[in-house]
């Protein structure tokens, strides 16, 4: 089994802890346990026996997650180790080697690389940059004739774009007509910067599988806690794969995760993130406004800004040289398959972002690229 390097993840692993300013994250500055639960509940964790617990997810956690998806109940939810595991076992459950998968790009490249490693025929559907990274309904209809599964991320990464009603309808129409499964990664839902919360795809079509986690909008990537929400038979098939891979997620993460997903707490934590994202999106907007050679589309959701530049420098070289010279680490557009772009994190503390942008300015001036 041949695995291509997952370029963004590998580079993050290598460099994210060795730089002064890490702008490669796409989530929100992480919460502490103190910010999530009251002191007595946190204190009670000291007495917790560290058993396996419920390997498919504690009932209170599954119910709390289901509560964020109108029409879902606990039996529609499987708790996983991050949405990475959710995507892996959902793919393994629903797609056989040789089956066709349509994957909307640019995107987090897990489905692309993992799908191919598992022998799936992964084909890419380009989102339209000049239409706010929306689906091209004609291209979708042409590509989708014999797809087993169509995978999209909404809100998107690295674009931060939310699919328009027209894009949503196109996906639902084509999937409904061809019988394809829709695998929708909704990990950035709840991190809307200006508008209302993104509507989930769950419940809009019988063959929708949603994956998500606490890593981004909920600001808890260290819990490594994610989930699948889908039809019971999909949850059952995915759980069979989980039995062979990770068995289940950790009991500590599940208890803290249940506190995060308690409805009032959930809304408080999401609001904390949205306030930070709004402040930082404004900072980037002001920065782009002063530049001659940079442009962007203000993200609708998620802790990231996808910035376009017009000078001649490969984005990977820009990322590497900025890191080596200024200790600022950004994601190269080429790691998403798109040149002349970088992705910077806007979920960091504002002073961190300001310092990163000041150092980027210094780098550009030194290179004669300002
Ligand atoms: C779209 C998307 N899906 C999944 C993941 C993985 O998230 P998790 O930490 O929940 O495994 C990421 C992380 O960057 C992502 O951007």
* pTM of this structure: 0.97
Across the chain, mean pLDDT equals 98
| For the chain, percent of residues with pLDDT exceeding 70 | 100
Q: Indicate whether residue 157 lines ligand 1 (CB < 6 A).
A: yes
Distance 366 CA to ligand 1 centre (A): 35
Q: Indicate whether residue 236 lines ligand 1 (CB < 6 A).
A: no
Q: Indicate whether residue 221 lines ligand 1 (CB < 6 A).
A: yes
Q: Which CATH number fits domain 7-31+271-363: 3.30.70.120, 3.30.70.1520, 3.90.1150.10, 3.40.50.300?
A: 3.90.1150.10
Atom of ligand 1 nearest to the CA of 156: 1
pLDDT (average), residues 51-72: 98
Any idea where the domains of the chain sit in the sequence?
Answer: 7-31+271-363, 41-265
- Residue range 169-205, pLDDT digits in tens: 999 999 999 999 999 999 999 999 999 999 999 999 9
- Residue range 87-106, pLDDT digits in tens: 999 999 999 999 999 999 99
Q: Indicate whether residue 213 lines ligand 1 (CB < 6 A).
A: yes
Cis status of the peptide bond prior to 328, with omega within 30 of 0: no
Separation between Cα atoms, residue 256 and residue 265, nearest integer Å: 11
The length of the chain in residues reads 370
- Which pLDDT score is estimated for 8? 96
**Token pair for residue 225?**
């806690």
pLDDT (average), residues 129-154: 96
Distance 101 CA to ligand 1 centre (A): 19
- Which pLDDT score is estimated for 318? 98
Residues sharing a CB contact under 8 Å with residue 115, sequence separation 6 or more, in sequence order: 91, 95, 101, 103, 122
Q: Indicate whether residue 360 lines ligand 1 (CB < 6 A).
A: no
Give me the DSSP letters along 225-248: -EEEE--HHHHHHHHHHHHHHT--
Q: Indicate whether residue 84 lines ligand 1 (CB < 6 A).
A: yes
Q: Indicate whether residue 211 lines ligand 1 (CB < 6 A).
A: no
Ligand 1: which residue has its CA nearest to atom 16? 108
Separation between Cα atoms, residue 276 and residue 273, nearest integer Å: 5
User: Residue holding tokens 């802890």?
Assistant: 17
User: Residue holding tokens 């001649």?
Assistant: 312
Separation between Cα atoms, residue 222 and residue 19, nearest integer Å: 19
Q: Indicate whether residue 226 lines ligand 1 (CB < 6 A).
A: yes
What phi and psi values does residue 201 have, to the nearest 5 degrees? -80, -15
- Which pLDDT score is estimated for 310? 97
Separation between Cα atoms, residue 84 and residue 102, nearest integer Å: 18
Ligand 1: which residue has its CA nearest to atom 6? 84
Considering only the top CATH level, what class is 41-265? alpha beta
For residue 350, the surrounding DSSP H or E stretch is: helix 350-366
Going across the sheet that includes 208-213, the strands are 77-80, 226-229, 208-213, 181-185, 149-153, 100-105, 121-126
- Which pLDDT score is estimated for 347? 98
Per-residue confidence at 151, pLDDT binned at 50, 70, 90?
very high
Ligand 1: which residue has its CA nearest to atom 1? 108
Distance 128 CA to ligand 1 centre (A): 22
Q: Indicate whether residue 134 lines ligand 1 (CB < 6 A).
A: no
């Amino acid at each position: 089994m041949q695995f291509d390097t997952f370029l963004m993840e590998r580079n993050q692993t290598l460099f994210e802890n060795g730089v002064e300013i890490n702008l490669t994250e796409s989530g929100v500055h992480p919460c502490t346990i103190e910010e999530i639960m009251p002191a007595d509940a946190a204190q009670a964790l000291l007495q917790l026996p560290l058993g396996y617990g419920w390997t498919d997810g504690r009932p209170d956690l599954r119910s709390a997650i289901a509560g964020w998806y109108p029409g879902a109940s606990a039996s529609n939810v499987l708790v996983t180790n991050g949405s990475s595991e959710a995507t892996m076992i959902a793919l393994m459950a629903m797609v056989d080697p040789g089956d066709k998968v349509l994957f909307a790009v640019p995107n987090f490249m897990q489905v692309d690389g993992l799908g191919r490693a598992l022998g799936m025929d992964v084909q890419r559907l380009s989102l339209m940059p000049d239409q706010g990274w929306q689906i091209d309904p004609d291209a979708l209809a042409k590509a989708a004739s014999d797809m087993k599964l169509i995978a999209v991320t909404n809100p998107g990464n690295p674009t931060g774009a939310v699919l328009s009603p027209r894009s949503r309808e196109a996906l639902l129409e084509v999937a409904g007509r061809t019988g394809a499964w829709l695998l929708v990664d909704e990990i950035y839902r709840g991190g809307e910067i200006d508008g209302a919360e993104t509507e989930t795809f769950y419940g809009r079509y019988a063959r929708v599988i949603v994956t998500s986690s606490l890593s981004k909008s909920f600001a808890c990537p260290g819990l490594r806690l994610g989930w699948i929400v889908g039809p019971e038979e999909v949850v059952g098939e995915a759980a069979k794969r989980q039995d062979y891979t990770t068995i289940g997620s950790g009991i500590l993460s599940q208890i803290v995760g249940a506190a995060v997903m308690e409805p009032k707490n959930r809304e408080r934590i999401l609001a904390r993130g949205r306030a930070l994202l709004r402040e930082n999106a404004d900072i980037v907007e002001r920065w782009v406004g002063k530049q001659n050679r940079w442009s962007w589309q203000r993200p609708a959701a998620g802790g990231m800004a996808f910035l376009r530049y017009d000078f001649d420098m490969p984005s990977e070289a820009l990322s590497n040289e900025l890191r080596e010279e200024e200790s600022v680490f950004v994601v190269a557009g080429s790691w998403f398959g798109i040149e002349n772009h970088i992705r910077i994190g806007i979920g960091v503390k504002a002073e961190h972002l300001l310092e990163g942008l000041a150092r980027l300015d210094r780098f550009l001036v030194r290179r004669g690229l300002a």
